[in-house]
Structure 1
Amino acid sequence: MYKIIFVLVFAIASCLGLHAQEFQGMAIYESKTSTADFKTRMQGNKDMTPDMQKMIEERMKKMFEKTFILNFNKSASIYKEEEKLDAPGQGGGGMRMMSSMMGGGGTFYKNVKEKSYTVDKDFMGKEFLVKDSLPNLKWKMEAETRVIGGYNCFKATAVRPASKTDFRNFRGKKEENATAKPTDATKKTSFMDEMNIPKDIVITAWYTPEIPVNQGPENYWGLPGLILEVNDGKTVILCSKVVLNSKVKAEIKAPSNGKVISQKDFDETVIKKMEEFREMNQGQGGNGGMRMRIGG
C-alpha cells in the first residue's frame, strides 16, 4: 500500500516538474527610438541637401524601429531581432555597426536563475561573446495599473547607469555660437567628449503577474511577471503579441560563437574603435567629430 502511494506521489511530482520545465512562451516586441536629436543635427548641417536628409531619415527609421522576439521559460530566455531581408544598398557596414550598437544584431540570452547573460556581437568584422552578470535593477513598485494586450499590468521604475556603447543613449552636443571664440586647437579631446551621455537613466516598466516569469526584453528582468513595456525616456519597447505554451518549442540556449569578453572590456573595445574613427576623420581634414557612413 505504502509502495503504491509512493509511486503515485512520485508520478504526480514528476508530472508537475515536467510541466514546469516544459512551460514556454513567446512575446513579440516593437522597439522605437526617438530621432529628434539626430534630425536637429541634420537640419543644422548646411552641406546636407534635402534629398540627402530624406535618404538618411529613411535609413535611420530602419535602425530606430525594430521588431524583436522573446522566447522564454521559467529560468531563461533568448531575445533576438526579427530577421528581415535588406533592400539593395541598405546593408552597409556602417548600418550594421549602428544596428549592433542599438540593441540589434545578436542573440541576447538571459538566465535569471544564475543571474547572468550572454550576447553575441558582430563588431567591425569580429565576433564577440559578451558574458556578464545581469544588472541589479532596484525596482520601485508603483500604484498605477493599465492593460496591455488584454493583460493587467503594474508599473515599476528603476534608475540605471547609461551605457556608453548603446547609440540610443547618445545626445550630440549643441553647436557653439558662431561668434564664440574657437577652442584651443592644441587641446586634445576624445570621442566621448563629442557626445552627451547622461549618467543615469530612469526606466519605467509595465509587467503582468498573469504571466509569472522573471523575464523581459533586452537585459530587463527582476519583476514578478513578464515585462510588457519598457520606456527609458528615448526608447520604448512595447509587447504586441504573446503566445503561451505553443506546440512548437523554441530552443532556448546561450550563443557560443565569438571571443569571450566581459561587458566592460567590450565597451572599452568599442570606444577605442570609435576614437580611431575620429582620429582618422581628423587626419582627412575633418573637424574631429564622429562621422559614419550610413549607406553601403
Structure 2
Amino acid sequence: MKKTLFSLTILCCVALGALAQQTEGIITYDHKYNWIKVNSRLTYLSKEEKDRMQLTWGNEDNGPGTKMKLIFNDKQSIYTYGNEQGQTEDGRYSWRQEDYLVYRNFEKEKIIEHYEMLGKTFLLEDSLMSYNWRIQNQIKDVAGYVCMKAETFDPIKNHKITAWFAQDIPVPAGPERYLGLPGVILELDINDGDVVVSAQKVELKNVDKDLTLPKMKGKKIKNSDYDQLLKKHIADSIKAQRNPYWSIRY
C-alpha cells in the first residue's frame, strides 16, 4: 500500500511538473512580408504599376522572412528580433536591426514597447490593450500544435487580423502587438497574407533569466499618441502617393 501511494505521488509530481512547464518557453517565428499584396492595396497605383511590381518582385516574396522570438511565462512576455543583427541566408550581407521590443505584463496589466518609427525612437508605456477576438470553429497544425482560429480587426490600419492559438499552452501572449486569447498565438496572418508571422520552433523551458528587460531610451508616449501618429502618417502618405508601410510596421 505504501509503495502504491509513493508511486502515485511520484506520478502526480511528474504530471504537475509537465503541466507547469507548458506555461513558459521561447517560440521562434518567421515574420514575412508579401510586398506584392501590400502594394496591390495602394489605391493610387495603376494596374500597370502593380503588374510591373509583380514581374519585378515576384520571386523575392518566396524567400525567407525575418526571425523573431517570443519569450513567455504565465505572468509576462517579451517579443523581439531573433538576432540583434539581420543577415542574408548566405551570410554575405548583414545590417543592424532597428529597435523593436514588445513587453507585456499580464499580472500587472502593463505594456512597454520600444521601437524605431518615422525616423525616431519611441518608448510606449501604458495599460494592456484588449482586442475583440471572435473565436472560430476551425483548427490547424502550427509547429506541431493543434491551434484554433480567432479573428479581430485593426481600425487604425484597416487590417483584418487572423490568429491561430494553442490551448495546450494556456498563456495569453502572442507576436507583434497581439494577445488576449486563451492560448499562445503561434501564427498571425494580417490582411489575408500581406504579413504572416508563423512559429517555426517551440521550446518549453524555464525562461526566468531571459525575461529581463534591457535598458531602453526613447520619446515617451501612450497608446492614444501612437494611434494618432499612425493615423496622420497613413493619411499623409496616401495623399502624397507614398507607401506608408516603408517607415512603420505593417
> Could you tell me the TM-score, scaled by structure 1's length?
0.57
Counterpart CA distance in 2 for 1:242 and 1:112 is: 21
Distance between the aligned counterparts of 1:274 and 1:39, measured in 2? 14
One-letter code of the match for 2:148?
Answer: F
Deviations 1:57-76 (A, max 9, x none): 85x888x9322100011111
1:112 to 100, 106, 123: 106
Structure 2 CA distance for partners of 1:241 and 1:291, relative to 1, 3 Å:
closer
Pick one of 144, 154, 162 that aligns with 1:161.
154
Report which of the two has the higher share of strand. 2
Quote how far apart the aligned CAs of 1:49 are: 11
How many corresponding residue pairs? 218
1:52-63 alignment, distance < 5 Å = 53=56
User: What is residue 77 of structure 1 aligned with on the other side?
Assistant: 77
How far residue 207 of structure 1 moved from its aligned partner, in angstroms, is: 1.4
1:110 and 1:117 in contact (8 A); partners too: yes
Write the letter of the residue equivalent to 2:242.
M
Equivalent residues of 1:109, 1:254 under 8 A apart: no
Cα separation, 1, equivalents of 2:207 and 2:179:
26
Relative distance call for 1:249 and 1:275 in structure 2 (3 A) is: same
Deviation of 1:245 after TM superposition, in Å, equals 1.1
Q: 1:150 aligns with which of 139, 144, 153?
A: 144
- Give the alignment of 1:1-296 within 5 angstroms: 24-37=24-37, 41=45, 44-45=48-49, 53=56, 65-83=65-83, 84-85=85-86, 105-157=99-151, 159-164=152-157, 198=158, 201-232=159-190, 233=192, 234-246=194-206, 249-253=209-213, 256-269=216-229, 288-290=240-242
Per the TM alignment, residue 238 of structure 1 is displaced from its structure 2 partner at its CA by 1.0
Aligned equivalents of 1:71, 1:161: Cα separation in 2:
24
Distance (Å, rounded) in 2 between the aligned partners of 1:275 and 1:204: 24
Whether contact under 8 Å (1:118, 1:255) holds in the other structure is no
Pair 253,42 (structure 1): closer, same or farther in 2 beyond 3 Å: farther
Query: Unaligned regions of 5+ residues in structure 2, if any?
Result: 1-15
Please give the secondary structure, in 2, of the residue aligned with 1:36. helix
Alpha-carbon displacement from aligned partner over 1:74-100 (angstroms, at most 9, x marks no partner): 111100022234579986xxxx9xx86
Question: For the structure 1 residues 262 and 90, does the alpha-carbon distance in structure 2 shift closer, same or farther, using more than 3 Å as the test?
Answer: same
Looking at structure 2, the residues matched to 73 and 211 of structure 1 have their Cα atoms a distance apart, in angstroms, of 10
Q: Distance in 1 between matches of 2:181 and 2:224?
A: 25
Letter in 2 for 1:161: D
Instruction: Flag the 1:155–1:289 CA change in 2: closer, same or farther, 3 A.
Output: closer
Q: Which residue identity lines up with residue 224 of structure 2 in the other structure?
A: K
Q: Deviations over 1:188-235 (max 9, x none)?
A: xxxxxxxxxx3xx33222211211212111222222221111223222
Q: Percent identity?
A: 28
What secondary structure does 2:29 align onto?
A: strand
Query: Aligned partners of 1:240 and 1:50: how far apart in 2?
Result: 27
> The residue matched to 2:211 in structure 1 has which SS?
coil
Indicate conservation of the 8 Å contact 1:145/1:154, yes or no. Answer: yes
Cα pair distance change 1:156/1:255, threshold 3 Å: farther
State how far apart, in whole Å, the 2-side matches of 1:203 and 1:277 are.
22
SS in 2 for 1:220: coil
CA displacement at 1:272 relative to structure 2 = 5.7
In 2: Cα distance, 1:155 partner to 1:274 partner: 29
Matched-pair contact (CA < 8 Å) for 2:31–2:68: yes
Distance of 1:80 and 1:68 partners within structure 2:
6
Task: Check conservation: 2:113, 2:123, Cα contact below 8 A.
Answer: yes
Counterparts in 2 of 1:253 and 1:291: CA distance versus 1, 3 Å:
closer
- Distance change (3 Å), C-alpha of 1:160 and 1:115: farther
